[in-house]
């Protein structure tokens, strides 16, 4: 397995943590969440820079953005009790399907 995908997973998790903390930073007026945001995005972009060494940029960004959208929406739903309607769920399903098609069938994915 390409080690870039491990870095990509770490980048995605760090970005999701940072984005989740962003809501709690209250416009960067709360120190703790603000530090989590800065550290999370720093880790995310550092790892993403390592990903770019071995994974095509379009593929990496499709996975990064698709996973981030779905994970943040799930956190919003599960933790913040925000609602997801059927069109939102269907749209996220299409995003996941698109990333799966790239990974499974596209030569651009580097397989």
The predicted-structure confidence for 63-86, as pLDDT tens digits, reads as follows 999 999 999 999 999 998 999 999
**Position 111 pLDDT exceeds 60:** no
pLDDT for the residue 103: 80
- The rounded mean pLDDT for the chain is 92
Q: How confident is the model at residue 16 (pLDDT cuts 50, 70, 90)?
A: very high
Q: Which of 72, 73, 64 is nearest to 11 (CA)?
A: 64
Residue 1's pLDDT is 75
* Residue spans per domain, the chain: 3-109
Whole-structure pTM value: 0.86
Phi and psi, residue 39, nearest 5°: -65, -45
């Amino acid at each position: 397995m390409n080690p870039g995908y491990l870095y990509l997973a770490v980048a995605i998790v760090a970005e999701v943590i940072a984005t989740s903390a962003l809501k709690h930073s209250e416009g960067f007026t709360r120190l703790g969440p603000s530090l989590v945001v800065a550290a999370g995005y720093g880790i995310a972009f550092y790892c993403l820079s390592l990903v770019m060494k071995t994974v095509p940029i379009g593929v990496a960004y499709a996975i990064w953005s698709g996973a981030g959208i779905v994970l943040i929406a799930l956190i919003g739903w599960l933790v913040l009790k925000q609602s997801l309607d059927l069109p939102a769920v269907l749209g996220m399903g299409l995003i996941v399907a698109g990333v799966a098609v790239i990974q499974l069938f596209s030569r651009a994915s580097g397989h």
